[in-house]
Structure 1
């Protein structure tokens, strides 16, 4: 079979997520250490989901050295580096995210230089959020750090949904909602480019915790709303945003949470979006209170998570909100998670109150749920 034929067959297997078969097909054609770069690229795609991260990194580094202008390759390498905990190089490569077709729409065409971490006393730095809500909640902590480092005036431009939370956090001189005209500024930085500008290291995390707080008025309302329910109160999120590129790997269905019913707990469904309707069909014996229709915004979510004793969730924005609030969180992760969760660890440097439950094998949610159920029974006994 020609190299082109192998490539076509391998791509078909990769499209069907038959990674082991794709690897077996490609290996003989690359056994000498040489071969078409397209086949090496496919091999990296095949072995990464299987957990072969070190070899994936070596292949991606080789590919980038041969094709430095291929920004998709550089972004793939960035995610592998960050997943491996190599923040120094990972942040540098991560800047190539704005050279990809699917991210160009969120790139701000700012006619000012990007801040590089230097002191800019008497100048104004615009920091603007850029991606999902979870990213915003995770990286908001860096805004006060940037203000201290730059010694300049900091204007934070942030999505309107997170603006009230950010306003209480502070650490800036002015704040505006995304879409409105910010004050004049001398340089700018995307919120997720702050780690590169400031040389963020794992040892710098987590910083002062918590850095977000719930609105006192909303908190009082939700304390009253949930008063009298049997403890512990366990908030649940079982699905992320359907349009997320990795949603098929990270999201679940509420019916898969059935083993949690063995714990004596009251479950609060804070799931939003298309999957929220599943709360009405929870497993018999699982006391689920659906709160989705009462949750107007993240201010309500923050208040609920502050009242609740625990959040159990797939990788989603409420995880980052709860972590930033300093609330207990148990996150259920796929075999190869998003880069921010690193590999193998059951804790995370980002949020001290967060515990990670990982798939032992690709697609093995059953094992994850059973591990969570076992721990939840112990947790519930201690909080009854």
Structure 2
């Protein structure tokens, strides 16, 4: 069957049809439709963008990257394409190009209003000895925990006096982190500063490469008083102690693909393991009805803040979690954690590997296909069995 000439297509209708298919997650059908229309190698950029949206969830990363690179060459001002390209580059470990494109994260229409607008210049990695550098966190809690490691590096590189500004919920943990001269909560008026840098712009400023990781480990620490409190709380529970977090923040753009329900974790249930529910948020209530055969103690209502979570993590045999902030906290503490990843995970977990250079104590379990949690959970269950037998 011959492909109709490009000018025979009603592009607006094709785009509308593709939008409907993508909305229903019928990615292969959307791909087939768009490939036919774009077979000549030409066509409207919005259709090429839709083709990326259809292919990337199917794991077609290289093809998605090539299209995005074409779009960026053609329309350098397409910030959405540049950001999507950054995520692919970073997931492939191409940090130099990835960080350059990632700087456009606050240039898109839907993100421009949430960027921090600072009159002082952004620090670009140069020596600024005798000056003051404000480093401020951004985005989610996990991002803060992951990139706090770079504050000490930035102070050493810049030679500046570093003022660290973090969100109130992370403040106590960050205060025990090295590398700053002053620390303030977000919303507090900072002292005078000469330069600023977002936490997640530090990799670009410092030229972070994959080979530089992990750098410092155990760069966060739990509050000793909280550890003793939780040690007493957990002392009577039989080991191994396995923490569970099955859902991330509902407002996360990829939450539907990364989060589970507690009932989905039924394959993990086995005798001889005490599961501790560390889940917070709307999904925490599911711990009241754990899967059959799962010995569970819910700590959700007792956890007041991240200091409690950090203390608990230091006492567990392992944390098993979807991709959410407790994983990053565990990794930053140097505590053992297993993360259950969707088929197309967030860029920071890279591709096709069971370890992560960011956190030596974290092990990755990946879906073998889109939506295929079953095989992943069986692998986690087998690993838990080995953990239990080793603790016996």
Shorter-chain TM-score category?
over 0.9
Change (3 A) 1:217 1:242: same
* Equivalent residue in structure 1 for 2:331, among 323, 343, 348: 323
* 1:216 correspondence with 2:224: yes
SS of residue paired to 1:224: helix
* Equivalent residue in structure 1 for 2:213, among 185, 188, 205: 205
Whole-angstrom distance in 2 between the partners of 1:346 and 1:159:
31
Deviations 1:191-220 (A, max 9, x none): 000000000000000012111110000000
* 1:314 correspondence with 2:315: no
1:33-112 paired onto structure 2 within 5 Å: 33-112=41-120
Residues 121 and 152 in structure 1, CA contact (< 8 A), matched pair in contact too: yes
Partner of 2:288: 280
Whole-angstrom distance in 2 between the partners of 1:335 and 1:117:
35
Alpha-carbon offset, residue 263 of structure 1: 4.8
Deviations 1:22-77 (A, max 9, x none): 01111122222222222211111111111111110010010111111121111111
Runs of 4+ in structure 1 displaced over 6 angstroms?
none
* 1:363 correspondence with 2:352: no
Partner of 1:148: 156
Whole-angstrom distance in 1 between the partners of 2:70 and 2:100:
17
Whole-angstrom distance in 2 between the partners of 1:196 and 1:260:
40
Residues 124 and 153 in structure 1, CA contact (< 8 A), matched pair in contact too: yes
Change (3 A) 1:101 1:36: closer
Whole-angstrom distance in 2 between the partners of 1:323 and 1:88:
24
* Equivalent residue in structure 2 for 1:121, among 99, 123, 129: 129
* 1:235 correspondence with 2:243: yes
Partner of 2:278: 270
Deviations 1:93-125 (A, max 9, x none): 111111123323431111100000000000000
List alignment gaps of at least 5 residues for structure 1.
Answer: none
Q: Which segment drifts farther, 96-105 or 19-28?
A: 96-105
Change (3 A) 1:345 1:113: same
* 1:352 correspondence with 2:321: no
Partner of 2:388: 380
Partner of 1:29: 37
1:188-203 paired onto structure 2 within 5 Å: 188-203=196-211
Residues 106 and 131 in structure 1, CA contact (< 8 A), matched pair in contact too: no
The TM-score, its normalising length taken from structure 2, stands at 0.96
Partner of 1:130: 138
Whole-angstrom distance in 1 between the partners of 2:128 and 2:181:
14
Alpha-carbon offset, residue 8 of structure 1: 1.4
* Equivalent residue in structure 2 for 1:255, among 263, 271, 284: 263
Whole-angstrom distance in 2 between the partners of 1:264 and 1:168:
36
* 1:305 correspondence with 2:313: yes
Whole-angstrom distance in 2 between the partners of 1:374 and 1:238:
18
Residues 334 and 359 in structure 1, CA contact (< 8 A), matched pair in contact too: yes
Residues 106 and 130 in structure 1, CA contact (< 8 A), matched pair in contact too: no
CA RMSD of aligned residues (A): 1.0
Whole-angstrom distance in 2 between the partners of 1:103 and 1:309:
39
Partner of 1:295: 303
SS of residue paired to 1:24: helix
Residues 178 and 219 in structure 2, CA contact (< 8 A), matched pair in contact too: no
Residues 263 and 377 in structure 1, CA contact (< 8 A), matched pair in contact too: no
Alpha-carbon offset, residue 187 of structure 1: 0.3
Whole-angstrom distance in 2 between the partners of 1:154 and 1:189:
10
* Equivalent residue in structure 2 for 1:245, among 229, 242, 253: 253
List alignment gaps of at least 5 residues for structure 2.
Answer: 1-8
